[in-house]
A and B are shown apart, each in its own frame.
Chain A
């Protein structure tokens, strides 16, 4: 019996949540003839999502409408909450890598990298230059991949359908490269604590070179396709604006902040993985609207192509893993012929490795903004706590402020320009 009561209370609460945003006037139907003086406010509550294609996942936005204008928007999240942070505490450090893939399906490698860097800093592990450059190259490809998906779906939301097909065609080529490296198209788990998961495959240099040439041409083409389209320009210019101090205060990072004129990029601010050796620009705009965000992301793709080209030209040689036999599984051949390697293999598989007690907050620049992993170690082989400061969560917080007093049709364009991934929000 108590359980039943519990459930009833639960439904009642959900119902009342909606009721409080119901029509606040005496005539809920709105058909009564107008009285003298002020016309009655005809507010309507509209539920957008959780299954709405333009929310790119399961985001529910409760909109309070006055005609077609949004008076108030309240994002409701948590539909994709899978307790990834809790699962970390049940895994060994290296076992946490596949979890980082599953947070944000468009920037797996950036998540792999951020978590690995955090644990490596706790361990005091030195990563060889070849592995560092490889990480940079793959992360930049991952950024292009993410921006291509963003561009395709954003354009589709606004009504430009063909761009979607072009973007997904190019994206497929990037995923083929990821598959070539890791055996997986999306959940790569390729960047591991201590280096890379596998030796880079034969022929990677040629494949990436061909891809980059193709991407460089493609990006300019898609930019022209949209920038010279009057419908696109009309739908995106001058909407989705917020004052800059509000944007900073509310926690927005990444391309959205750069489109407002703030040159914040973790790759330049506190370089990791030899980013300081690459020559690239941080594109910014000052218009701070949906169109400016489009331009910033297009320019970022060009800069990523530039970084990948530099990585291809100057890739150092050397090992692809750190020299840390107590952390990294030994070579298969060595494991079967050498006693010491066999012991290390046994110890790593059965016990994992201990990480010195301490905590670290590591940030990288994900395609969406500041991605941070806060890792706490208590000296055992399992993390005590892993917190992910995901860019989508920080950016989505501004949705309520950004959707105030805009038309419903524009809300789709604004949400598209924010480029959030709901898995990244809910974790």
Chain B
């Protein structure tokens, strides 16, 4: 059963008809509803949206750290359809340590964005072709965009010297 907010949304209806239980929540936002997905359903949902929903572009993948709340991370997928000019936002809540499916097989654009999320948040993706740090040096410790990572006073910062 779809939440009332997205009951009329064609993309949500498409997902619900093929993959019931994939959509777990819906939140209102100024730029349209945000659909919450269950972590194991992302790959089939995005494959469906690309092939039948017309969402041929992935704008970006990013994450938000809600520490100390649980589940800690929220991974955001920003989709865009060139035919209908429609934009969709999906969010997936994952606790620390859970490995998400990589969606590089759906959109190649996800490659660097998932590497960035891995680098700065420490969220892993399975079946990613090259899951390495992208912004920080390869031997860096910690994930800078986590909320428990300090803005100042890291061991390499100048104030400690």
Contacts and interface: CB of A to CB of B under 8 A. Distances in A.
Contacts of A89: 147, 151
B55 to A, nearest CB: 11
Interface stretch (B1-9, B12-20, B39-47, B137-145): B137-145
29 contacts: A9-B139, A10-B138, A14-B138, A78-B136, A81-B135, A86-B151, A87-B151, A89-B147, A122-B30, A246-B108, A248-B82, A249-B56, A249-B109, A250-B108, A250-B109, A251-B58, A251-B107, A358-B29, A361-B78, A361-B87, A370-B59, A384-B64, A385-B65, A387-B60, A387-B76, A389-B59, A389-B60, A389-B78, A397-B109
Interface string B25-36: 000011100100
Contacts of B29: 358-361
A285 to B, nearest CB: 17
A14 B133 CA distance: 13
Nearest to A13: B138
B106 to A, nearest CB: 9
- Looking at chain B's contact residues, the main secondary structure is loop
Interface residues of B, number: 36
B34 to A, nearest CB: 7
Interface of A: 6, 9-10, 13-14, 17, 77-78, 81, 83, 85-87, 89-90, 121-122, 124, 246, 248-251, 262, 264, 269-270, 358-363, 370, 372, 374, 376, 384-385, 387, 389, 393-394, 397, 426
B11 interface: no
A90 B152 CA distance: 10
B89 interface: yes
B139 A6 contact: yes
B134 interface: yes
Contact of A372 (B59, B65, B85, B112): B59
Contacts of A394: 59-60, 109
Contacts of B138: 10, 13-14, 17
B65 to A, nearest CB: 7
Interface string B116-147: 00001000000000000111111100001101
B57 A251 contact: yes
Nearest to A87: B151
A398 B57 CA distance: 14
Nearest to A356: B30
Contacts of B120: 85
A249 B111 CA distance: 11
B109 A361 contact: no
Contacts of B151: 86-87, 89-90
Contact of B82 (A246, A262, A358): A262
